[in-house]
Amino acid sequence: MDINKNMIKDKLDDLKQHPVKILGLLYPYILIVGVLIGYIYLNNVSNIGRNTVPLIFLDTASQDKDLPLIQPNVVPKTDVMALSQPSDALVSKGKALFSTTCVSCHGVEGKGDGVAGAALNPKPRNFTSASGWINGSKISGIFKTLSEGVPGSGMVAFDTFSPEEKIALSQYIRKTFVVNPPVDTKDELTDLSQKYKLTEGAQNPGQIPIKDAMALVIQDGQTKYDKVISALKQITNDSNNNGAEIFNKVTNNKVKALTALTSTEEWKKNEQVFVDLVVNELGDAGFNSNVHSLSGSDWDTFYNYMSKLL
């Protein structure tokens, strides 16, 4: 025993004098920990890191979403304070809208048992029960629901309704189905009015998808092109007609002249606009200086002929 103790004591003394030797003793443990970390790391490398799954490059071009179609609409100025008092007219307006648009899900009695709502999860709101309301049954709450929908449910936004129609609907629902409907405070109504800019009203210009817009531009160009070609044919056929004769006399470039005249409808308003257009644009629009020698009655003939032609 004593020998052992002495040996340990000697070793400890030795270590005290040469602390670097501790590393030698710890070396196997460091090695084991290192291997362990490496093992854990390899186990957690993603598939891409291991290269076991081929990379797929997404075709980002094919994922481009076009602009959605937005109908232009005018939101009339709305006096929320006035409409917050349910008039008979307002309530019956709401009733009519409700039976055409909402009954399918919310049911005739507002219990959320309409046929179209049967398969929905969450179920359409039962207006006669006080529980479950997300935006609430105040005018401001129902208005919000109708403007924004309830995300993640079958209740979509009904944005084609005017603010007055939305308030009419909420008045009808509150009056007919909701038991003891809570009343909006003045502040809540003011907030509602401000949030949806109801006192100002709005004019939303609408928007069409780019691909439709392109098609329209091409179509428009195509119709104009067709118009020019058929006018040109007609003029050739009409060679004995005074109007066609004048056209031939005053143009250097017939296609250019016809294109200039099809690009705007302005000149069809009256003869003076027509004369101004031809004289002012002259060379640019394919006409020549012979226009200056046209008499008043020549202009009449020319104008009448071109108006009929295009």
User: Contacting ligand HEC (CB under 6 A), which of 107, 110, 124, 181?
Assistant: 124
Q: Does 192 sit near ligand HEC (CB under 6 A)?
A: no
How long, in residues, is the chain? Answer: 310
Q: Does 246 sit near ligand HEC (CB under 6 A)?
A: no
Q: How far is the CB of 92 from ligand HEC (least distance, A)?
A: 15
The stretch near ligand HEC (CB under 6 A) out of 68-76, 131-139, 177-185, 298-306 is: 131-139
User: Contacting ligand HEC (CB under 6 A), which of 96, 147, 154, 234?
Assistant: 154
**H-assigned helices in the chain:** 2-17, 21-44, 47-50, 80-83, 88-101, 103-106, 139-148, 163-176, 186-195, 210-237, 242-250, 254-262, 271-281, 296-309
Q: How far is the CB of 279 from ligand HEC (least distance, A)?
A: 59
CA dist., res. 116 & res. 106, Å (int): 9
How are beta strands 73-75 and 202-204 bridged, if at all?
A: antiparallel
150 vs 255 by CB, closer to ligand HEC: 150
The stretch near ligand HEC (CB under 6 A) out of 100-108, 207-215, 233-241, 245-253 is: 100-108
Find where tokens 């409409």 sit.
83
Closest listed residue to residue 141, CA positions, set 195, 222, 100: 195
Q: Look at the alpha carbons of 115, 117, 119, 125 in this order and tell me if their dihedral is positive or negative.
A: negative
User: Contacting ligand HEC (CB under 6 A), which of 120, 232, 273, 279?
Assistant: 120
Would you tell me which residues interact with ligand HEC (CB under 6 A)? Answer: 101-102, 104-106, 116-117, 120, 122, 124-125, 133-136, 141-142, 145-146, 150, 153-155, 158, 169
